[in-house]
Structure 1
Amino acid sequence: MNFSSARQHFYQEIQQPDENIDLAKAALYIAQEEYPDLDVEHYLNALDTMAAEAKKRLPIGRYPLRVIQSINQYLYEDLGFAGNKKDYYDPRNSFFNDVIDRRLGIPISLALVYLEVARRVDFPMVGVGMPLHFLIRPDIPDMEIFVDAFNNGEVMFAEDCQERLSQIYQQSVTLQPEFLAAVNHRQFLVRMLTNLKYIYLKQQDIEKALAAVERILLLLPDMILELRDRGLLYYQLGLYSQATQDLQSYLTRVPDAEDAPVIRRLLTEMARG
């Protein structure tokens, strides 16, 4: 595979067993495609420094809610991290170096800052892939509390999560158990890249949207809709050979897909040249 240096580092990182993937490194390698001169070690050291400072502030009795309160005070009050509500779709909210530098992000990128600091102070947490709003929670059995890193580390219970979902969808939403399930490292990175994909599609930046989809498929090659989308992006870029290969593969796997007639028309059009 003829990858850029950043893509090669990303690929190497995700070849490990899921639990061994370093989320911070992988996220920085994602950002490195946008910023080729990005110094990954500099930002890993910045996280180490943050964690060392956070550790000094931890309560003597490490009760989970007190630890969360202490981390919240450090990240949001002392350092000034915040959700970027004014410009949510700025791509910089998804680049981990920018999030650390600017102290601004979206739910998943701020969650990653929180997760990395918490891990370094021996308070492991996991990501929770709630639809449209990423959360985190302590990795403690039977502890059903959630932290909203986008909203200053607000502590939430399941009922609060349902209310937050209803606010986001602007209608009553029934909270399904899978909405609050922990995500693994590959799923976490896919969600980060999916955010970038839709930001770039909104901006009509097809090449950067394609780069996001390519990395999603490196993480989870069986994501059939991403295979289709890669084919459609190739088509928009005039890369008809690659587009044909992906779209034919898509139809082979899901011949009765709702969009199959549209895909077949595109394939016919490309075959005619």
Structure 2
Amino acid sequence: MSSLLSRIEQAEPLCAALMLGQLFGPVDVDASLNQLEAWAAMGRQRLDGEAEPFAAYVRFFYTELAFGPGHDLFASDMVRMDKVIAYRTGGCICLALLFCHLGKLLGFDLQGVNLPGHFLIRLRLASGRLQFYDPLTGKLLDWVQLESQCQALLSDFHHDDEEDEEALPWLRWLEPASQEDIVTRLLLNLKSAFMYELKFEQAWQASDMLVQLHPDDPYERRDRGFLLQQLDCHNGALADYRYYISQCPQDPAAMLLKLQLKHYLREPAILH
């Protein structure tokens, strides 16, 4: 799995999303990329001669190709890029990555933005001005909406250093997402979706890759421990829980876990 993770980290974002899907079933990455090339050829025809080419691209993606959010955004198919391409429905991060990838093939300067709570599309115009779009609808977000959303998020974050808070305003959240940001967010969404569907083995696979990416994160270790417990891998669960408790001893959940550890079975189990 570590070699797959290394290849994913080096891949272009949409390819990385497709490769992550290979953890959970067969995915023909080349076929998906060929489909995107075919759509790009269609898009060039639709944009030819358009006075407002980007507006024409938005119509092409959301109306003609009919991409949009699914009925159940918590479902794992909304996060698996191969399924999003096949069914043309997905969550915000997959739609954003797909929109950016196809748009780049058509010549637009597009990047994803890893805003906490929502993934956005960022367009850089020829003038250098930036515009932001909601990937679920393709609608342009004005600066008042963006600032309001970011200021609301700021209330959930606390900085001990006032100078640091001034040096890092909410605008930092509107910078392009790094490859690690994208892979982490995809894995977090996959983990959550599989847990929602009670598919604990698949959720563990996503969680294990998150721990490989962030080995010192006690909360990722806690989540992997929970999933190992669901799979009757109690020794592995104990190790992860103990790491979490040692790093977050004052966390109420850690205190509760500490009391419960003595009740866990300690017989080794094999994960199939």
Scaled by the length of structure 2, what TM-score is found?
0.80
| Structure 2 residues without counterparts, runs of 5 or longer | 155-169, 268-272
20, 28, 32: which is aligned to 2:18?
28
The equivalent of 2:152 in structure 1 is 173
Matched positions, count: 251
The equivalent of 2:36 in structure 1 is 47
Distance change (3 Å), C-alpha of 1:82 and 1:42:
same
What RMSD over aligned residues (CA atoms) do the two structures have, in Å?
2.8
Equivalent residue runs for 1:142-153 within 5 Å: 143-151=129-137, 153=138
Aligned partner letter, 1:242: G
Aligned partner letter, 1:235: Q
Aligned partner letter, 1:161: L
Aligned partner letter, 1:232: F
Q: Is the 8 A contact 1:144 1:158 kept in 2?
A: no
Q: CA deviation at 1:60?
A: 6.6
Q: Is the 8 A contact 1:193 1:212 kept in 2?
A: yes
Q: Does 1:75 pair with 2:53? A: no
Distance change (3 Å), C-alpha of 1:145 and 1:214:
same
Aligned partner letter, 2:67: F
Q: Is the 8 A contact 1:111 1:135 kept in 2?
A: yes
Q: CA deviation at 1:49?
A: 2.0
Q: CA deviation at 1:178?
A: 4.3
Aligned partner letter, 1:97: D
138, 141, 144: which is aligned to 1:156?
141
- Cα distance in 2 between the residues matched to 1:47 and 1:258: 48
The equivalent of 1:114 in structure 2 is 99
Identical aligned residues as a percent = 27
The equivalent of 1:183 in structure 2 is 177
Distance change (3 Å), C-alpha of 1:124 and 1:218:
farther
The equivalent of 1:257 in structure 2 is 251
The equivalent of 2:242 in structure 1 is 248
Scaled by the length of structure 1, what TM-score is found?
0.80
The secondary structure found in structure 1 opposite 2:24 is: coil
The secondary structure found in structure 1 opposite 2:152 is: coil
